[in-house]
């Protein structure tokens, strides 16, 4: 077990090698090979039929929508889609697999040789290879607790049998737990943008196994790997990898050898455990599925899917940064989901300053939502309200202080911006001579700053604007105030 015994010098001698296998359930209405409903949360054993139960004589028929989704995901992950792929039987015995085999793809998967770019620690982008994407079906679920006799019995829910999956296998290109986290985050984003899966980890729509080994830096050969199975959040994947890397280094440093095995992550204890060895010995005896013909992807089908590809998150971020002068972090937040990015862009295009809309959305509204622990959908201020506020600010019709007060009222009363603004119509001081009098006072009280300004430090103007705005209780017309401050300081 890793302890504080490993010094940073020892850790630095080693290089981790990580590869990830991700299973995603495809968001089809029906299952992969039968017409049963594909839905999470139904009464146990209600969405089943002879095909997905593997009863004798039942024949599978491939769901065209599943092929569309798998192809779309393959293209979004920069994979080469194989014209002719083959389904195969992966044989194993397990209670939640009534057929005794899983229909999968083996040596001829639907797609190969893809990649995702992820941000590396030094700020550059790093390309992580994707070995393959193949189609397969899910198994059912064993339920080990929740029943009065759970101590002695296991219950089965076979609704999940035959749910279409895409398994996405990365190359062993990942070198740190952070890179693994980035890869998973990007992968999930891309799949969500394509609409092929809901990627809901709590419901098991996205599941991750991590292969990890360590080797001395500069060594050519990979070390012996361990597989950490079924970790149910990206945060846990990162933690499990951190644990596993230290554990393996400690084994090697103490003269031992890493065993090739499957391990389970225990989130409560923050460590991995070796699984029983009988669950590790796999001989799946793959052979081509005799009940399904080869899957042929025609150029026309491929072209149709290409046409359906949405603008993907990375490209969208780059475009939005260029188009609206956003910073990278704001662009990442705004594109976190396709729906949120769509709503932002639709609103921003109607505003005088899209950048201001982004700032209000993320900082003013986002900050208030965060402090109240509310989701974006629960915001009392609509996108239209944010656009209205941004335009008022842009035109200098309200000050930022007034805007903050108006937003406060929106959140207190649960009202949208338009209603609050109409009722409260903040007073504005537009009398130039009154503003000038206040500026004169501030200038007289701050000779040092005046000197700095006249010596060329023009940014000091902001200080004067701030002081006068404060003196006017936030009511001075910002545009007029800026203009008059500049004039007075120059004079
Ligand atoms: Zn069925």
Residue 277 has pLDDT above 70, yes or no: no
First to last CA, the chain: 73
pLDDT at 4: 55
Region 333-358 average pLDDT? 92
Distance 116 CA to ligand 1 centre (A): 34
352-378 pLDDT per residue, tens: 999 999 999 999 999 999 999 888 888
Q: Which residues pair with 117 in a beta bridge?
A: 127
pLDDT at 121: 82
Distance 53 CA to ligand 1 centre (A): 7
Distance 91 CA to ligand 1 centre (A): 19
Torsion angle, alpha carbons of 167, 50, 95, 290, to 10:
-50
Q: Provide DSSP, 223-279.
A: ---EEEEEE-SHHHHHHHHHHHHHHHHHHHHTT--PPPEEEEEETTTTEEEEPPGGG
Instruction: Give the containing element (helix H, strand E) for 17.
Output: strand 14-25
Residue 344 has pLDDT above 50, yes or no: yes
CB 106 within 8 A of CB 295: no
Cα distance between residue 386 and residue 398, in whole Å: 13
Cα distance between residue 118 and residue 108, in whole Å: 27
Give residues with Cβ within 8 angstroms of 219, minimum separation 6: 15
Q: Report residue 459's pLDDT band, with 50, 70 and 90 as the boundaries.
A: confident
Distance 365 CA to ligand 1 centre (A): 47
pLDDT at 475: 81
Distance 30 CA to ligand 1 centre (A): 8
Distance 49 CA to ligand 1 centre (A): 4
Residue 18 has pLDDT above 80, yes or no: yes
Distance 98 CA to ligand 1 centre (A): 12
pLDDT at 288: 96
Distance 34 CA to ligand 1 centre (A): 5
pLDDT at 281: 55
Distance 298 CA to ligand 1 centre (A): 27
> Higher-confidence residue: 210 or 483?
210
Cα distance between residue 482 and residue 353, in whole Å: 19
Distance 52 CA to ligand 1 centre (A): 4
Distance 142 CA to ligand 1 centre (A): 18
Region 57-65 average pLDDT? 96
Q: Report residue 278's pLDDT band, with 50, 70 and 90 as the boundaries.
A: very low
Cα distance between residue 326 and residue 319, in whole Å: 10
Distance 141 CA to ligand 1 centre (A): 15
Neighbours of 424 (CB within 10 A): 12
Region 323-329 average pLDDT? 92
Backbone torsions φ then ψ of 373, nearest 5 degrees: 60, 40
Helix (H, G, I), strand (E, B) or coil at 180: helix
CB 181 within 8 A of CB 48: no
Burial of 341 (0-12, 13-18, 19+ CB in 10 A): buried
Q: Provide DSSP, 359-387.
A: HIIIIIIHHHHHHTT--GGG-SS-HHHHH
Cα distance between residue 407 and residue 78, in whole Å: 44
pLDDT at 3: 53
- What's the distance, CA 483 to chain centroid? 45
pLDDT at 67: 98
Q: Which residues pair with 116 in a beta bridge?
A: 128
CB 214 within 8 A of CB 15: yes
Kindly list the distances between the CA atom of residue 175 and the CA atoms of 126, 148, 215, in Å, as whole numbers in the listed order: 11, 46, 11
Distance 195 CA to ligand 1 centre (A): 23
Distance 61 CA to ligand 1 centre (A): 10
Distance 167 CA to ligand 1 centre (A): 21
Distance 35 CA to ligand 1 centre (A): 6
Distance 294 CA to ligand 1 centre (A): 21
Region 418-433 average pLDDT? 83
Distance 36 CA to ligand 1 centre (A): 4
> Higher-confidence residue: 118 or 425?
118
Region 476-490 average pLDDT? 85
Region 91-102 average pLDDT? 92
């Amino acid at each position: 077990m890793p302890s504080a015994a490993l010094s940073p010098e020892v850790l630095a001698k080693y290089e981790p090698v990580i590869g990830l296998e991700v299973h995603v359930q495809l968001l089809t209405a029906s299952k992969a090979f039968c017409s049963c409903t594909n839905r999470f949360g139904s009464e146990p054993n209600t969405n089943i039929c002879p095909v997905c139960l593997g009863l004798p004589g039942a024949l599978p028929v491939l769901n065209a929508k599943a092929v569309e989704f798998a192809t779309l995901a393959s293209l979004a992950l920069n994979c080469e889609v194989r014209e002719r792929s083959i389904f195969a039987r992966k044989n194993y015995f397990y209670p939640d697999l009534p057929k005794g085999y899983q229909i999968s793809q083996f040596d001829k998967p639907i797609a190969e040789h893809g990649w995702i770019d992820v941000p590396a620690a030094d700020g550059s982008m790093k390309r992580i290879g994707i070995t393959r994407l193949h189609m397969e079906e899910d198994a059912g679920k064993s339920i080990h607790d929740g029943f009065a006799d759970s101590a002695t019995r296991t219950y089965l829910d076979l609704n999940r049998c035959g749910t279409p999956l895409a398994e996405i296998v990365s190359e062993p290109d990942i070198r740190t737990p952070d890179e693994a986290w980035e890869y998973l985050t990007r992968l999930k984003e891309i799949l969500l943008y394509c609409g092929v899966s809901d990627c809901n980890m709590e419901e098991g729509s996205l599941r991750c196994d991590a292969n990890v080994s360590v080797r001395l830096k500069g060594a050519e050969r990979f070390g012996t790997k361990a597989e950490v199975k079924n970790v149910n959040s990206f945060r846990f994947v990162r933690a499990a990898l951190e644990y596993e890397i230290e554990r393996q280094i400690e084994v090697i440093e103490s003269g031992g050898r890493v065993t090739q095995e499957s391990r389970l992550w225990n989130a409560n204890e923050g460590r991995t455990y070796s699984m029983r060895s009988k669950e590790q010995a796999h001989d799946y005896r793959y052979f081509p599925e005799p009940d399904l013909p080869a899957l042929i992807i025609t150029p026309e089908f491929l072209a149709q899917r290409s046409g359906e590809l949405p603008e993907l998150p990375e490209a969208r971020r780059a475009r939005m940064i260029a188009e609206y002068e956003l910073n990278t972090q704001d662009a990442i937040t705004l594109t976190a989901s396709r729906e949120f990015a769509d709503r932002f862009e639709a609103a921003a295009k109607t505003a005088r300053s899209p950048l201001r809309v982004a700032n209000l959305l993320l900082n003013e509204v986002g900050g208030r939502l965060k402090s109240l622990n509310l989701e974006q959908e629960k915001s009392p201020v609509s996108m239209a309200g944010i656009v209205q506020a941004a335009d008022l600010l842009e035109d200098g019709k309200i000050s930022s202080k007034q805007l903050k007060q108006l937003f406060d009222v929106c959140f207190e009363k649960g009202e949208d911006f338009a209603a609050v603004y109409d009722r409260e119509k903040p007073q504005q001081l537009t009398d130039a001579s009154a503003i000038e009098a206040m500026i004169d006072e501030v200038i007289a009280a701050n000779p040092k700053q005046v000197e700095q300004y006249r010596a060329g430090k023009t940014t000091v103007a902001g200080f004067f604007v701030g002081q006068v705005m404060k003196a006017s209780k936030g009511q001075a017309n910002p545009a007029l105030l800026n203009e008059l401050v500049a004039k007075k300081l120059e004079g």
